[in-house]
Structure 1
Amino acid sequence: MHIRYFLALSLLPQLVLAEETTSEPDASIQCLVEPPVPRMANLDPDASELALQEIRILSDRSEAQMGKQAKFNGNVSFSQGGRHIAADEAILDQESERLDANGNLVFQDQMFTITADSLVAQMRDNSATLTGAQYWLHGQQIHGDAEKLEITPDNNLHLTKTNFTTCPPGDSSWLLEAERIKIDSTEEWGELWDAKLKIGGIPILYIPYMTIPVSDKRKSGFLFPQFSTSTTNGVEVATPYYWNIAPEYDLTFTPHYMSARGLFLKTDFRYLAGESQQGQINVEYLGNDNMMSNNADRYLYHWQHKGAINENWRVLANFTQVSDNNYFNDMNSDVQSATDNQLSRIGEISYFEKNWDFSARVQDIKVLGEDEIPYQVMPQLNFNYRAPSLWNGLDFDLMSEITNFKHQENEFSTATRLHIEPSISLPIQGPAGSLTSEVKLLQTYYWQDDQGNPKNEELDDQVSRTLPQVRIHGQVNFERFTDYFNENYRQTLEPQFQYLYVGYEDQSNIGIYDTAQLQEDYYGLFRERRFSGLDRIADANQMTLGLTTRLFDEHNVEKFKFSLGQIFYFQDSRVGINEPGMSTQTFTQENTSNSVLAAELSTQIYKDWYMSGAIQYDTKQSENKKSEVTLDFRPGANKLLQLSYRYVPDLLNTNTNESVDISQAGMRGAWPVSDNLYLVGNWYYDLNESRNVETYAGFQYESCCWAIRLSYHYRIKTNYEDDFNPIVDDRELFEKGIYLNFVIKGLGGSGPLGVTDMLDDGLFNYRKPLYLKN
Structure 2
Amino acid sequence: MKKLAPSLIAIVITISLYNNSSYAIGLPKNSISNNPQCLIDVPRFDRPLVNGDINTLPVNVEANQLKAFYPSIAIYNGEVLIEQGNRTVQADKVTIDTQDNNNRIVKLEGDITYQDNLIQMKGDVASMNLNNNDANMSPSQYQLVNRLGRGNADQMKFEKNRYIILKNGNYTSCPVNDSTWNIKGTTVIHDNEEQLLEVWNAIFSIGKVPVLYSPYLQLPTGDKRRSGLLMPNFSYDSIDGIDFSIPVYWNIAPNYDATFTPRVLQKRGVQLQTEFRYLNELGLGTLAFDWLQHDSKYSEDRNNHTNGNNYDNNSHRWLFHWKNEELINYNWRFYADTTRVSDNQYLTNLNSKYASQTAGYLTQFYKMAYNDESWDVTLGYRHFQPFHSGLKNSLYQTEPQLDVSYYNNDLGPFKFRTFSQISRFLTSGENKPKAWRTHIEPTLNYTLTNSWSSLTSEVGFMATHYNQDNIKKEIEQYKYLNKSVNRFLPKFSIDGKVIFERDIPFIDGYTQTLEPRIKYIYIPYRNQSNISNYDSTILQSDYIGLFRDQPYSGLDRIASTNKISTGLTTRFYNENKIEKFNLSIGQITYFTKSKTSEHNNDLDENSDTGSITWASDNFWRISDDIIFRSGVQYDTRIDTISLANTIFEYRPSGDKLMQLSYRYANRNYIGTVDKNPSYRGYKQDISQAGIMTTWPLSQTVSAVGSYYYDVKLEQTTDSFVGLHYSDCCWGMTVQYGRKLTDWDNISRKSKYENKLSVNFELKGLGNNRDTKAKMLNFGKLPYTTAFE
TM-score range relative to shorter protein: 0.7 to 0.9
- Return the alpha-carbon distance in structure 1 between the equivalents of residues 19 and 618 of structure 2: 48
- Residue 658 (structure 1) aligned with residue 676 (structure 2): no
Change (3 A) 1:19 1:283: closer
For the Cα contact (< 8 Å) 2:613–2:636, is it kept in 1?
A: yes
- Return the alpha-carbon distance in structure 1 between the equivalents of residues 34 and 280 of structure 2: 40
For the Cα contact (< 8 Å) 1:493–1:549, is it kept in 2?
A: yes
- Residue 766 (structure 1) aligned with residue 783 (structure 2): yes
- Residue 54 (structure 1) aligned with residue 60 (structure 2): no
The one-letter code sitting in structure 2 at the alignment partner of 1:267 is T
1:114 aligned partner: 121
1:616 aligned partner: 633
Q: 2:215 aligns with which of 205, 208, 225?
A: 208
**What do residues 448-476 of structure 1 show as CA deviations (whole Å, max 9, x unaligned)?**
22367754553333222222111211111
Farther off after superposition, 439-448 or 178-187: 178-187
- Return the alpha-carbon distance in structure 2 between the equivalents of residues 223 and 635 of structure 1: 33
For the Cα contact (< 8 Å) 2:41–2:175, is it kept in 1?
A: no
SS for the counterpart of 1:594 is: strand
- Return the alpha-carbon distance in structure 1 between the equivalents of residues 211 and 606 of structure 2: 72
2:6 aligned partner: none
The one-letter code sitting in structure 2 at the alignment partner of 1:168 is P
2:25 aligned partner: none
**What do residues 586-644 of structure 1 show as CA deviations (whole Å, max 9, x unaligned)?**
99686232222111222245785543222112346531222223334444443333333
For the Cα contact (< 8 Å) 1:494–1:549, is it kept in 2?
A: yes
1:9 aligned partner: none
Change (3 A) 1:147 1:92: same
The one-letter code sitting in structure 1 at the alignment partner of 2:30 is E
The one-letter code sitting in structure 1 at the alignment partner of 2:59 is R
**What do residues 642-684 of structure 1 show as CA deviations (whole Å, max 9, x unaligned)?**
3333221113486553233112222233222112211122222
1:313 aligned partner: 332
For the Cα contact (< 8 Å) 1:238–1:256, is it kept in 2?
A: yes
SS for the counterpart of 1:169 is: coil
The one-letter code sitting in structure 2 at the alignment partner of 1:30 is P
SS for the counterpart of 1:55 is: coil
Q: 1:490 aligns with which of 511, 514, 521?
A: 511
Indicate the percent of aligned positions where both proteins have the same amino acid. Answer: 32
Post-superposition shift, 1:126?
A: 6.2
- Return the alpha-carbon distance in structure 1 between the equivalents of residues 390 and 698 of structure 2: 52
Change (3 A) 1:696 1:537: same
- Return the alpha-carbon distance in structure 1 between the equivalents of residues 94 and 624 of structure 2: 63
- Residue 677 (structure 1) aligned with residue 677 (structure 2): no
The one-letter code sitting in structure 1 at the alignment partner of 2:778 is D
Farther off after superposition, 653-662 or 281-290: 653-662
Structure 1 unaligned segments of length 5 or more: list them. Answer: 1-16, 722-727, 770-774
2:311 aligned partner: none
- Return the alpha-carbon distance in structure 2 between the equivalents of residues 768 and 518 of structure 1: 24
1:411 aligned partner: 431
For the Cα contact (< 8 Å) 1:573–1:590, is it kept in 2?
A: no
Change (3 A) 1:130 1:355: farther
Q: 1:755 aligns with which of 763, 772, 776?
A: 772
- Return the alpha-carbon distance in structure 1 between the equivalents of residues 519 and 748 of structure 2: 54
Query: Over aligned residues, Cα RMSD in angstroms?
Result: 3.2
Higher helix share: 2
Q: 2:77 aligns with which of 62, 73, 82?
A: 73
For the Cα contact (< 8 Å) 2:744–2:750, is it kept in 1?
A: no
Post-superposition shift, 1:38?
A: 6.8
Post-superposition shift, 1:19?
A: 5.7
The one-letter code sitting in structure 2 at the alignment partner of 1:629 is T
1:706 aligned partner: 730
Post-superposition shift, 1:52?
A: 8.1
Post-superposition shift, 1:487?
A: 5.6
- Residue 531 (structure 1) aligned with residue 535 (structure 2): no
Change (3 A) 1:135 1:472: farther
**What do residues 498-526 of structure 1 show as CA deviations (whole Å, max 9, x unaligned)?**
11112322222222222111112111101
1:279-294 to 2 correspondences below 5 Å = 279-293=286-300, 294=302
Change (3 A) 1:263 1:162: same
- Return the alpha-carbon distance in structure 2 between the equivalents of residues 410 and 713 of structure 1: 42
1:549 aligned partner: 570
SS for the counterpart of 2:358 is: coil
1:745 aligned partner: 763
Farther off after superposition, 138-147 or 462-471: 138-147
For the Cα contact (< 8 Å) 1:26–1:752, is it kept in 2?
A: no
Post-superposition shift, 1:693?
A: 1.6
Structure 2 unaligned segments of length 5 or more: list them. Answer: 1-17, 23-27, 304-314
For the Cα contact (< 8 Å) 1:29–1:676, is it kept in 2?
A: no
Change (3 A) 1:579 1:25: farther
The one-letter code sitting in structure 1 at the alignment partner of 2:341 is V
2:467 aligned partner: 447
2:151 aligned partner: 144
- Residue 649 (structure 1) aligned with residue 645 (structure 2): no
1:694 aligned partner: 718
2:308 aligned partner: none
Change (3 A) 1:588 1:576: farther
For the Cα contact (< 8 Å) 1:707–1:753, is it kept in 2?
A: no
1:88 aligned partner: 92
Post-superposition shift, 1:483?
A: 5.1
Farther off after superposition, 566-575 or 445-454: 445-454
1:394 aligned partner: 414
1:7 aligned partner: none
2:272 aligned partner: 265
1:430 aligned partner: 450
Post-superposition shift, 1:203?
A: 2.2
**What do residues 735-772 of structure 1 show as CA deviations (whole Å, max 9, x unaligned)?**
11211121112235x51543333333222233479xxx
Q: 1:233 aligns with which of 217, 240, 250?
A: 240
Post-superposition shift, 1:326?
A: 1.9
- Return the alpha-carbon distance in structure 1 between the equivalents of residues 618 and 162 of structure 2: 64
1:772 aligned partner: none
For the Cα contact (< 8 Å) 1:411–1:453, is it kept in 2?
A: no
Farther off after superposition, 369-378 or 291-300: 291-300
Q: 1:499 aligns with which of 508, 520, 523?
A: 520
2:500 aligned partner: 478
Farther off after superposition, 455-464 or 422-431: 455-464
- Return the alpha-carbon distance in structure 1 between the equivalents of residues 84 and 375 of structure 2: 59
Aligned residues: 737
For the Cα contact (< 8 Å) 1:59–1:74, is it kept in 2?
A: no
Normalised to the residue count of structure 2, the TM-score between the two structures is: 0.86
Change (3 A) 1:576 1:116: farther
The one-letter code sitting in structure 1 at the alignment partner of 2:526 is E
- Return the alpha-carbon distance in structure 1 between the equivalents of residues 774 and 278 of structure 2: 26
- Return the alpha-carbon distance in structure 2 between the equivalents of residues 327 and 578 of structure 1: 39
- Return the alpha-carbon distance in structure 1 between the equivalents of residues 290 and 120 of structure 2: 46
2:371 aligned partner: 352
- Return the alpha-carbon distance in structure 1 between the equivalents of residues 198 and 19 of structure 2: 14
Normalised to the residue count of structure 1, the TM-score between the two structures is: 0.87
- Return the alpha-carbon distance in structure 1 between the equivalents of residues 325 and 598 of structure 2: 35
Farther off after superposition, 669-678 or 445-454: 445-454
Farther off after superposition, 247-256 or 184-193: 184-193
SS for the counterpart of 2:778 is: coil
SS for the counterpart of 1:537 is: coil
Change (3 A) 1:189 1:625: same
Change (3 A) 1:534 1:336: same
Post-superposition shift, 1:267?
A: 1.7
- Return the alpha-carbon distance in structure 1 between the equivalents of residues 265 and 126 of structure 2: 55
Change (3 A) 1:275 1:362: closer
- Return the alpha-carbon distance in structure 2 between the equivalents of residues 42 and 104 of structure 1: 27
Post-superposition shift, 1:233?
A: 0.9
For the Cα contact (< 8 Å) 1:368–1:720, is it kept in 2?
A: no
- Return the alpha-carbon distance in structure 2 between the equivalents of residues 491 and 153 of structure 1: 65
SS for the counterpart of 1:762 is: coil
Post-superposition shift, 1:136?
A: 3.0
- Return the alpha-carbon distance in structure 2 between the equivalents of residues 622 and 125 of structure 1: 85
